[in-house]
């Protein structure tokens, strides 16, 4: 159950797979080479997962901030992002610039080198600690973990920023505005009886369609100064809604001519239509 013991065996696994890859002629046995590469990917992912748990146990209040993750596109926020970063660093150090321009890769190589050197130091220190005192984390161990955590976060931000357009503070704020709009929409729908708490607690699938529909009406009529404000230019709106700027104007114009009874009937119909 001790994390340092788990790290020792995870590290042994990575070392063994790397040795097998180095001793194999990939051209003579390409299929076995691919099998070993997959094993390396899985063993490195396990090693990083154990290392993450060690850092949470050893330096929980000294971890480098990961607030920058809110700037990343949602499709990048996957469980194996850390392992992908490690693979990217190894490729950069080897002179392989995956998914990016060579000039960008050359700028990132020093960071990749520092990260991988730091990881090797962490592996050495934790192996020695696991064999001597597996129940404690003395200051030298804590110091190398803090350094590795910082270098990893800095490389992750730099690497992703070189590949995709990370969200600006304005875009993050606009997304928060949308979250608030959806929350207020749900509160209003509960108050008016369009939805029930049981539907929400039971994760009723229909809500995936109902809430966004009601939110559009709320954003155009009830909270016109919010994220759906058509007083803004399209480029000032969230990227979720800006492509539909003209359509939203047409919907707003139609909503304006409805009576209170007609609006209520429309909203109720949106809660049942598929």
Q: pLDDT per residue over 229-257, tens digit each? A: 898 888 888 878 889 999 999 999 999 99
The tens-digit pLDDT sequence of the chain (274 residues) is: 889 999 999 999 999 999 999 998 888 888 998 999 899 989 999 999 999 999 999 999 999 998 888 877 777 777 678 888 888 898 888 887 766 777 778 888 999 999 999 999 999 999 999 998 888 899 999 999 999 999 999 999 998 888 777 777 777 788 889 999 999 999 999 999 999 999 899 988 889 899 999 999 999 998 888 889 898 888 888 878 889 999 999 999 999 999 999 999 999 998 876 5
Backbone angles phi, psi at 130, to 5 degrees: -65, -25
The per-residue pLDDT for 273 is: 64
Helical spans, DSSP H, in 67-222: 81-93, 102-132, 139-163, 169-192, 197-201, 207-217
Q: Is there a contact between 21 and 33 (Cβ–Cβ < 8 Å)?
A: yes
pTM of the entire predicted model:
0.65
Cα→Cα distances 45→7, 29, 52, 78, 87, Å: 12, 25, 10, 13, 10
Specify whether the backbone of 63 is left (phi greater than 0), alpha (psi in -120 to 50) or beta.
Answer: beta
Domain boundary assignment for the chain: 1-161, 167-269
Cα→Cα distances 109→29, 66, 115, 162, Å: 31, 22, 10, 13
The per-residue pLDDT for 98 is: 67
Specify whether the backbone of 73 is left (phi greater than 0), alpha (psi in -120 to 50) or beta.
Answer: beta
The per-residue pLDDT for 64 is: 93
The per-residue pLDDT for 274 is: 57
The per-residue pLDDT for 262 is: 92
Cα→Cα distances 228→129, 216, 231, 243, 258, Å: 56, 8, 9, 12, 19
CA distance 157 to 159: 6
Q: Which pair of structure tokens corresponds to residue 11?
A: 């590290």
- At 89-120, the pLDDT tens digits run 988 888 877 667 777 788 889 999 999 999 99
Q: Which pair of structure tokens corresponds to residue 269?
A: 């119909």
């Amino acid at each position: 159950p001790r994390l340092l013991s788990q790290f020792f065996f995870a590290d042994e696994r990575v070392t063994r797979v790397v040795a097998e890859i180095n001793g194999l002629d990939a051209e003579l046995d390409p299929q076995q080479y691919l099998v070993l590469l997959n094993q390396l990917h899985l063993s490195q992912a396990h090693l990083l997962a154990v290392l993450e748990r060690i850092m949470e146990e050893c330096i929980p209040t000294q971890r480098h901030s990961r607030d920058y993750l809110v700037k990343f596109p949602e499709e990048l926020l996957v469980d194996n992002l850390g392992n992908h970063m490690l693979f990217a660093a190894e490729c950069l150090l080897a002179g392989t610039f995956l998914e990016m321009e060579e000039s960008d890769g050359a700028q990132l190589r020093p960071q990749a080198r520092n990260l991988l050197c730091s990881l090797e130091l962490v592996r050495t220190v934790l192996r020695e600690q696991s064999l001597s005192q597996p129940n404690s984390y003395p200051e030298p161990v804590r110091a190398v973990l803090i350094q590795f955590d910082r270098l990893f976060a800095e490389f992750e931000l730099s690497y992703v920023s070189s590949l995709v357009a990370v969200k600006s503070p304005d875009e993050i704020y606009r997304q928060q505005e949308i979250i608030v709009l959806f929350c207020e929409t749900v509160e209003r729908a509960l108050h008016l009886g369009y939805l029930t708490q049981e539907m929400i607690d039971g994760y009723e699938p229909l809500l995936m369609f109902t809430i966004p529909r009601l939110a559009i009406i709320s954003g155009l009529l009830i909270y016109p100064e919010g994220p759906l404000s058509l007083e803004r230019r399209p480029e000032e709106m969230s990227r979720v809604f800006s492509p539909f700027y003209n359509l939203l104007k047409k919907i707003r114009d139609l909503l304006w001519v409805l009576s209170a009874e007609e609006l209520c009937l429309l909203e109720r119909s949106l809660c049942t239509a598929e």
